[in-house]
Each structure stands twice: as C-alpha cells, then as structure tokens.
Amino acid sequence: MTSAKILVVDDDPAIRNLINRYLSQQNYQLEVAQDGDTALKVFEQFNPDLVILDLNLPDTTGLILCREMQSRTHVFILMLTSEQDPKLGLKVGADDFVTKPFDLEELSLRIKAILKRQRSMTDLEVQSLTYRDLIINPNRREVYVKGELVLLSALDFNLLYCLARKPGRAWKRTELLQQVWGYQDESNDRGRLIDVHIGHIRQKIEPDPKNPSFIQTVRSVGYRFD
C-alpha cells in the first residue's frame, strides 16, 4: 500500500523539523513549507492526503490557506493552533486541531484517525442519496443543492453522509465522534466539534440555516437527518 502524503506548513523550523523527523519514521511521505506561498506551490505538485497547517504564518493565515486548499481538493486539514477555541479553523473547513504545545503521539493518533476515515469512505461503492433537491454522491464525494455543486470539506462530507444514509435516526454526539472521527471521547471540547461542523454543513445545504429542514437538533441527544 502506498504511504500517505503529508504536507507540514509552519514558520517555526524547529516544529517543522520535529514533525518531519517523527512522521518520517512512521513511513509517511513528507514535504514541508515555511509560508503560505511556498505551501501552495508544494501543495499543487505534491498533492498531499493531509496538511498539517499552522494558524499563524508570516505571509498569510492558516485560515486563509485552509480555505484555499479546500477549494481545490478534498484534502484533510489538521490545524496547529495556540488558541483554545477550535472554531477558528473548523469554520473554514479544517477537519481537526491540535493545540500548541502538542504531544507527538497525540498528533500521530489524530493523523491515523483522519486517514482511516478517508480509506473507509473511498473503499465503498454505494448509490447516491437524493432527498428533495439535495443529492449526495459518496463515490465522487460531491454534494449538489438544486443542481449546484456545494463545496464541503472532507470531514463535513463524511459527517453529512453518516447522517443522511440513515434518515430518521437520532445520533448521539458520542456516536458521531466514533463513526466519523474515530474517537471514543466524551469531553466537551470533542462534543463541540460536532456542533461546529453541523453548523458549517447547514450553512451550505439548508435553505434557511437558522430553521434547518434537513439536519434537525435532537435536544439533549444530538442530531437527526430528516
């Protein structure tokens, strides 16, 4: 099996070298970049499966770079941040985050969970799901609303598909974390991941995100796709 390709973007050479050395020992293919301009050039040539992206860069921000990369491909983004609020990256399509200073083993586990989700979604050949004017194509990993292509991050797509393939089922947040993220974690921070991504999906597919018709909130439980 071909090893996964990871692009590390951070302006701190110590952090770049640390992550590069650690992940190289796990047989990943690694490329590094110290700023946004270099990162985009490497991104186009390297076509990574996952980008480890620092929030603060000398010529741009990780938020802008994340949005740009997600507009080009369905690449997974793991954000490195010194902020305590994960919404900063998740709102623009980041799939997960690690707060600096971080533990290398935790970083590795997050990467493995993300790449596992990618394989599990692409290994299945299933039919498109159609609900009114919403079409979800899991083979091409595309979503259409009223015939128009809607751009979702890789993780947003996985979460939407998880809900939509079992309409009417009420999912607990812990169940969605396990199904989509691969986590068995009931902490409030991880539960907030679900809420942030649901909000992002609603903005893309709901006619009125404040009064959603597709993804319903089930009070004291989680969410349900109607």
Query: In this predicted model, what pLDDT tens digit does every residue of 1-50 receive, in sequence order?
Result: 458 899 999 999 999 999 999 999 998 999 999 999 999 999 988 889 99
If you classify domain 5-121 with CATH, what class do you get? alpha beta
What per-residue confidence (pLDDT) applies to 205?
Answer: 95
Lowest mean pLDDT among 37-41, 68-72, 93-97, 190-194: 190-194
CA distance 22 to 47: 21
By the 10 Å C-beta count (0-12 exposed, 13-18 middle, 19+ buried), 25 is classed as exposed
Which residue carries 């809420």 as its tokens?
195
Closest to 191 in 3D by CA, of 201, 181, 200: 181
Give tens-digit pLDDT for 162-206. Answer: 999 888 999 998 888 888 877 665 555 666 788 999 999 999 999
What per-residue confidence (pLDDT) applies to 1?
Answer: 45
Residues of the chain with CATH 3.40.50.2300: 5-121
**Residue 95 φ/ψ, nearest 5 degrees:** -90, -25
Residue 147's contacts (CB-CB under 8 Å, 6 or more residues apart) are 133
CA distance 107 to 103: 6
Residue 50's contacts (CB-CB under 8 Å, 6 or more residues apart) are 4, 5, 6, 7, 75, 76, 77, 78, 111, 114, 115
What per-residue confidence (pLDDT) applies to 32?
Answer: 96
What per-residue confidence (pLDDT) applies to 54?
Answer: 93
What per-residue confidence (pLDDT) applies to 57?
Answer: 92
* Cross-strand pairs, 56: 61
Residues of the chain with CATH 1.10.10.10: 126-225
- Select from 1.10.10.10, 3.40.50.300, 3.30.420.40, 1.25.40.10 the CATH code of 126-225: 1.10.10.10
> Using 50, 70 and 90 to split pLDDT, how confident is the model at 104?
very high
CA distance 156 to 147: 19
Cα Rg, the chain, nearest whole Å: 17
Please tell me the total number of residues recorded for the chain in this structure.
226
| Residues of the chain above pLDDT 70, percent | 86
What per-residue confidence (pLDDT) applies to 185?
Answer: 59
What per-residue confidence (pLDDT) applies to 138?
Answer: 81
By the 10 Å C-beta count (0-12 exposed, 13-18 middle, 19+ buried), 124 is classed as exposed
CA distance 108 to 38: 24
CA distance 196 to 155: 12
Whether the upstream peptide bond of residue 101 has omega within 30° of 0, thus cis, is yes
